[in-house]
A and B are shown apart, each in its own frame.
Chain A
């Protein structure tokens, strides 16, 4: 049984912790480790005032904005980069180079660029004339902008991933379909909207679901840029779980939120798999 070593390892360090977490979520755990069984209180707390509704909303906004723009840019870029010409491979490689940069580093880079006094983003915006003064938008210190600022960093980091997926889909297409459409007189836009996009729908959906889940669990970028602040305006569920655990030392409550978070993501994954990918292709 080759499965055993891997299974044991994952059982001990992945599945066992999840089980303890589920158990912990029903307890109130004090600083000294004393445990009191409190049933569902932790869960009820999560859904009531002072719970994580605000973080949930932030997470959803973050997913919608970041993944939305990544998809649009990804499609546009993929269509552009699909062109083959001398050097197109080099350009594509360069475009994809942010792919592997640590999210933390991406966050730090954007924090530097968006800082209020010496950030280059505002300086450029001011020079182009969009802002009258380079300190008009305090990206990271303004509750209206902080979450959006994190989204921008995320978009920068992962649009290449979207582009890569869609490009792979486009290149797998049969050219003759597009050729036939062209001969029938379809314009460029028609070719894109009626032939190319519908045909890569499976790839598009997979990329979307992967990104939605990744965006939902983003931690590094937001932590690097704002640590969830100011005034928890950019706090997502990942951040609040971490803060509850380390700053407030409330292991039970943190576990309850983590359990909810896992359930939602796993449910999403399963629903999505059902509709798209059938595990029984070989059965």
Chain B
């Protein structure tokens, strides 16, 4: 009996390891492709491992698109919008959570609904609005839009964290003479650091990975890396090598950070869900 459970477990372990490798296959394949000479990527029949190691695709990538500019656009818009969304969102969520009025339930539901709105439909009016105020193709436009779109997410995450903090804590600070803003900044926020970290990482990735908004709102100056990468689609298939290199370059930092910060990511994804 005991033995059969041991074997069962061994089988389970083997299967899970094999599965993981299979699941990572597409990614490994792209990494391999990005280090192949350009011609090998589109060779028939395709091969998995690079026959010769080469950085040809990376030099090709740099030739075909302004990698540095696009990357910095992506980075600047993602970081700035995240900071804005985090600041305003955490404040607003705090107010909603603590006000305790009937209204707050309505607001919570409203936040949730806003969070569920598909980007693809909201971009229609946003596009018009941005054009009208003359911000088309600027980083500012992207920053504003990302911050607005991601704020409901920040609020949603923070709401569940605030819930875990007893309001007696606020009252204690109040009795000690702290203003509400001081209470928030000096008492509540420090406790919520894990929540803030979770919201930060998520929002950052959402903005960094965004494609649709920047596809629609930028043309030359503020173009982000994802849009640049998609540019390889319209070009003929011969550019697949550099495309792989770009995909690798773009998502490698994300993979590293997400493995390093996995604790926060797991928290963010399961926030509100597990407590049921």
| Candidates B48, B113, B181, B250; contact of A266 at CB < 8 Å | B113
Residue in A9, A77, A255, A261 whose Cβ sees the most chain B Cβ within 10 Å: A9
Q: Is the CB of A104 within 8 A of B149?
A: no
The total of interchain contacts (Cβ-Cβ below 8 angstroms) comes to: 287
Q: How far is the CA of A24 from the CA of B209 in the complex (A)?
A: 29
Residues of B within 8 A of A227 (CB): 233
Of B53-61, B63-71, B168-176, B253-261, the one with at least 4 CB within 8 A of chain A? B253-261
A113 at interface by CB-CB < 8 Å = yes
Within 8 A of A (CB), among B1-48: 8-9, 12-13, 15-17, 19-20, 23-24, 26-27, 29-30, 33, 41-46, 48
List the A residue with the shortest CB-CB distance to B262.
Answer: A93
| Candidates B94, B124, B237, B254; contact of A254 at CB < 8 Å | B124
Residues of A within 8 A of B270 (CB): 164-165, 168, 203
Residue in A101, A113, A117 whose Cβ sees the most chain B Cβ within 10 Å: A101
Residue in A1, A105, A207, A257 whose Cβ sees the most chain B Cβ within 10 Å: A105
Residues of A within 8 A of B99 (CB): 3
Known: A102-B251, A120-B48. A245 touches B244 (CB 8 A): no
| Candidates B44, B208, B265; contact of A117 at CB < 8 Å | B44
| Candidates A2, A168, A245; contact of B95 at CB < 8 Å | A2
Known: A85-B9, A97-B258, A108-B229. A164 touches B269 (CB 8 A): yes
Q: Is the CB of B118 within 8 A of A9?
A: no
Residues of chain B at interface, number, CB under 8 A: 98
Q: Is the CB of A261 within 8 A of B276?
A: no
Known: A17-B125, A238-B120. A270 touches B95 (CB 8 A): no
Q: How far is the CA of A283 from the CA of B259 in the complex (A)?
A: 39
Within 8 A of B (CB), among A94-112: 94-105, 108-112
Main secondary structure of the interface of A (DSSP, over half): helix
Residues of B within 8 A of A164 (CB): 266, 269-270
Q: Is the CB of A273 within 8 A of B109?
A: yes
| Candidates A1, A9, A113; contact of B26 at CB < 8 Å | A113
A14 at interface by CB-CB < 8 Å = yes
List the B residue with the shortest CB-CB distance to A254.
Answer: B124
List the A residue with the shortest CB-CB distance to B98.
Answer: A2
Residues of chain A at interface, number, CB under 8 A: 100
Q: Is the CB of A13 within 8 A of B17?
A: no
Q: Is the CB of B251 within 8 A of A105?
A: yes
Q: How far is the CA of A262 from the CA of B258 in the complex (A)?
A: 31
Q: Is the CB of A96 within 8 A of B262?
A: yes
List the B residue with the shortest CB-CB distance to A77.
Answer: B19
Q: How far is the CA of A197 from the CA of B29 in the complex (A)?
A: 35
Residues of B within 8 A of A99 (CB): 258, 265, 269
Q: How far is the CA of A143 from the CA of B71 in the complex (A)?
A: 36
Known: A104-B226, A245-B127. A165 touches B269 (CB 8 A): yes
Q: How far is the CA of A10 from the CA of B276 in the complex (A)?
A: 28
Q: Is the CB of B212 within 8 A of A9?
A: no
Within 8 A of B (CB), among A249-283: 251, 254-255, 257-259, 261-262, 265-266, 269-270, 273, 276-277, 279-280, 282-283
Q: Is the CB of A246 within 8 A of B229?
A: no
Residue in B23, B118, B120 whose Cβ sees the most chain A Cβ within 10 Å: B120
List residues of chain A with CB under 8 Å of any chain B CB.
1-3, 5-7, 9-10, 12-18, 20-21, 24, 77, 80-81, 83, 85, 88, 91, 93-105, 108-113, 115, 117-120, 123, 134, 156, 159-161, 164-165, 168-169, 172, 188, 202-203, 206-207, 210, 213, 216-217, 219-220, 223-224, 227, 237-239, 241-242, 245-246, 251, 254-255, 257-259, 261-262, 265-266, 269-270, 273, 276-277, 279-280, 282-283
List residues of chain B with CB under 8 Å of any chain A CB.
8-9, 12-13, 15-17, 19-20, 23-24, 26-27, 29-30, 33, 41-46, 48, 84, 88-89, 91-96, 99-100, 105, 108-109, 112-114, 116-129, 144-145, 147-149, 151-152, 155, 163, 180-181, 184, 205, 208-209, 211-212, 216, 226, 229-230, 232-233, 237, 240, 243-244, 247, 250-251, 254-255, 257-259, 262, 265-266, 269-270, 272-274, 276
